[in-house]
Amino acid sequence: MMTRTVLLELKSIDRRYDEGSRKLTILDAADFVLHHGEMVALVAPSGAGKSTLLHTAGLLEWPDAGDVILNGRACGRLSDDERTAIRRNDIGFVYQFHHLLPEFTALENVMMPQLVRGLKPAQARERAMQLLDYMKIGARAEHRPAELSGGEQQRVAIARAVANGPLLLLADEPTGNLDPATASYVFDALEALVRQSGLSALIATHNHELAARMDRRVTLAEGKVVELP
């Protein structure tokens, strides 16, 4: 059996927030490893710290202690600009709400992160169409988000998240706003994209059926990341 190499490592992560006169501990010396090409489900109740873990892993929040190591690079002491560059190039984010730009078409939304990175419009357009076709939504490329169904909006959001060819995909309840049939269809597309591209993915979900289809399941207990059977 081939040994997978580590893409993401969270080492002894602490994350605390001020709540009035006391400190609220969300993550307490939390450790986690995600391997190249692996899909891991993060299953935990609301308020347990799923979003905090994802935001810390995605370099959107600074840990109070510990370090985030991505593809062998320690990120704890990087500048804001360096962390922004890593997020732009190496990390894709998908949220429960699609956060598509309403004034732009599906195609333009998927082109946007590529243009920000510096690709020429023709290159960005070609890749965006390839991704939309892969997500089986190419026929809706010229529609704005308000003209798309919930499932279509999420598939565009997924295409946008991987437009720059990231190493890591972080998803926070990506099917949480969808009915069960649509959620399953969107997850099918997401899973196929991850498997085909060799992405690594950490996906927070309440859906135990979807979680069971991933390589591993973890939860959060008393601020620690704990493996589930």
Does residue 6 fall inside a structural domain? Answer: no
C-alpha 36/C-alpha 7 separation (Å) is 5
Q: Domain count for the chain, please give it.
A: 1
Q: Which one has a higher pLDDT value, 209 or 127?
A: 127
Does residue 118 fall inside a structural domain? Answer: yes
pLDDT digits (tens, 9 = 90+) for 192-229: 888 888 899 999 988 888 899 999 999 999 999 999 98
Let me know: does 124 contact 115? Beta carbons within 8 Å.
yes
Does residue 185 fall inside a structural domain? Answer: yes
Can you read off the two tokens belonging to residue 49?
């710290």
178: confidence class by pLDDT, cuts 50, 70, 90: confident
Does residue 18 fall inside a structural domain? Answer: no
- pLDDT at residue 105, rounded to an integer: 97
pTM: 0.89
Does residue 203 fall inside a structural domain? Answer: yes
Strands 168-172 and 200-204: parallel
Look-up: residue for tokens 């994209």? 193
1: confidence class by pLDDT, cuts 50, 70, 90: very low
Does residue 63 fall inside a structural domain? Answer: no
Q: CATH no. for residue 98?
A: 3.40.50.300
Indicate the range of 38-42, 78-82, 94-98, 129-133 predicted with least confidence: 94-98
Name the percent of the chain lying above pLDDT 90: 65
C-alpha 43/C-alpha 203 separation (Å) is 9
Mean pLDDT of 161-186: 88
pLDDT digits (tens, 9 = 90+) for 2-16: 567 999 999 999 999
180: confidence class by pLDDT, cuts 50, 70, 90: confident
Let me know: does 218 contact 194? Beta carbons within 8 Å.
no
146: confidence class by pLDDT, cuts 50, 70, 90: very high
State the chain's mean pLDDT as an integer.
91
The domain containing residue 114 runs over which residues? 38-51+77-227
C-alpha 91/C-alpha 94 separation (Å) is 10
- pLDDT at residue 219, rounded to an integer: 96
Does residue 60 fall inside a structural domain? Answer: no
Does residue 20 fall inside a structural domain? Answer: no
pLDDT digits (tens, 9 = 90+) for 36-88: 999 999 998 877 889 999 999 999 999 999 999 999 999 988 999 999 999 98
Let me know: does 40 contact 53? Beta carbons within 8 Å.
no
